[in-house]
Amino acid sequence: MATGGIFRADRTFLALLGGVVLFGLVLLASASGPTGFVKFDDSYYFLKHQVIFGLVPGIIGFLIAANVPYATYRRFAGIMLIISLFLLISVFIPGLGSDLGTFAKQWIVIGQFSVQPSEIVKLTFLFYIAAWMEKRTEHDLKDIHGGLIPLMIVLGIVMGLLLLGKDTGTMGIIVAMSLGVYFVAGAPFRYFAMFGGAGALLMFLLIKFSPYRAARFMTFLHPELDPKGIGYHINQSLLAVGSGGFFGRGYGHSLQKFQYLPEVAGDSIFAVIAEELGFVLTTAFLVLYVAFIYRGLRLATQAPDAFGRYLIAGVMTWVGAQAFVNIGAMVGILPITGVPLPLVSYGGTALAVTLTALGVVANVSSHSKQT
C-alpha cells in the first residue's frame, strides 16, 4: 500500500474541517469573553487556552495521523484496548483522578495540567473495535456467539468504567461509535434491536436508581417545574435560542452569556451561537457541519479496505452523534448530558483528540479509490 499522506488527502474534507474549526474559534471568542473576564480578568482566556492546549497539539496530532499509514494501528489493536482500560481506571487513582469541582470523576490532574482520559479512549477504543471487526467473518458477524456477545462483553466493561466515573455522555458516544462500526461491518438489524432494548433498560435503571439522573429526566420532560433549580440550565438555553430570532442579536451581543447561561464556553455554546447569529446564520453553520459529516461518511465508501472503512465510520459517527446530542440538548429535544459540541466547545483534550482522529480519516482518504 502506498504511503499516502496529507498532500493526497481529500481536499473537500480538509476544507470543510478547516471551516468548522475556524468557525468554532470565532464563536468561542465571543461566547467565553464575559466568563473569562470575570474569572481570570482576561476576555480571551478561554480562546488562548483552546489554541495553546487544544488547537496546537490537535494540529500536530492531525498532521502525524494524516501521514502515518492507518494500517499501522491494526497491529496494536490489543495494546489499544489495554490503554483504553488503563485510562478509564486512572481517574480512580488517589492523587491523580479529579472531578474538577463537578459531580463526575472524569479527569486526571498532573501539576497545573488536566486531561480527560475518556476523550482519548474514544480513539484508542475505536482502533481496537475496527481491528476486531475486520477479523470477523460474515458468519461471525451474523452469529450471536461470534459477533454480538463478544462485542457486548468488551463494550460492557468500558461502559461500566464510564458509569463509575458518572460519564454517561461519553458512554453514549462510545456506544454509538461502536454500533456505527458494527452496522458498516454488516451486522444483522435484529442485533441493533437487541442493543436498543438493552439500552432502554439500562437508561430506565440509571434513572430509577439515581436521584440526580431522575431529576434531570423529569426536567427534560417538564422544564417548567423547577426553573430556578435543576431546570435552570435548559430554561436559559431555550431562552437564548429563542431570543435569537431569525437574524440574531449580532456577533458578540448575547445577553445570556453574561453569567446567566451555565457552561457558555463548553456544553452550552450552541445556545449562544443561536442567540447571536439567529436562525438564518445558525442554519448556515449547521449546513456546513452536516456537509463535513456527510463528506467524511462518503469517504468511508471509498476506503481501500474494511479496516479503513471502519475507522472512518467510527470517527464520523462519534463526531456526528456527539454534535446531535449536544445540539439536541440545547434545543430541548434531548436531556442535557454534559456532552460538548465537537470542534467548537471549549476543551483542550477534546479538540486535540478529535483533530487527531480526523487526521486518521485524512490518511485513509489519501489511500482511497477516489481522492
Helix (H) or strand (E) holding 16: helix 11-31
Phi first, then psi, for residue 91 (nearest 5°) are: -70, -15
Alpha-carbon distances, residue 25 vs 154, 177, 238 (angstroms): 36, 26, 23
Closest C-alpha among 272, 267, 298 to residue 285: 272
- Within a 10 A sphere around the Cβ of 148, how many other Cβ atoms? 20
The string of pLDDT tens digits covering residues 205-256 is 878 777 777 777 777 877 777 778 778 888 899 999 999 999 999 999 999 9
pTM of the model: 0.91
Strand partners, 114: 109
Q: Is 209 exposed, middle or buried (0-12, 13-18, 19+ CB in 10 A)?
A: exposed
Q: Name residues of the chain where pLDDT drops below 70.
A: 1-3, 101-105, 369-371
Give residue 331's Cα distance to chain centre: 18
Q: What is the reported pLDDT for 371? A: 44
Q: In what order do the strands lie in the sheet with 107-110?
A: 97-98, 107-110, 113-115
Instruction: Give the largest CA-CA distance in the chain.
Output: 61
Contact by Cβ (8 Å): 343, 20: yes
Residue 360: which H helix or E strand, with range? helix 348-366
Whether 162 contacts 171, CB under 8 Å: yes
Neighbours of 267 (CB within 10 A): 25
Category of 76 on φ-ψ map: left (φ > 0), alpha (ψ -120 to 50) or beta = alpha
Rounded Cα distance, 279 and 344, in Å:
18
Tell me which DSSP letter residue 262 carries: T
Cβ burial, residue 226 (10 Å; 0-12/13-18/19+)? middle
**Torsion 115-327-156-200 (CA) sign:** positive
List pLDDT tens digits, range 307-328: 999 999 999 999 999 999 999 9
Query: What distance in Å separates the CA atoms of residue 192 and residue 190, rounded to the nearest whole number?
Result: 5
* The three cell numbers locating residue 86: 488503563
The number of residues in the chain equals 371
CA 200, 289, 327, 158: dihedral to nearest 10 degrees? 40
Amino acid at residue number 330: M
| CB contact at 8 A, 269 and 347 | no
CA distance 70 to 82: 19
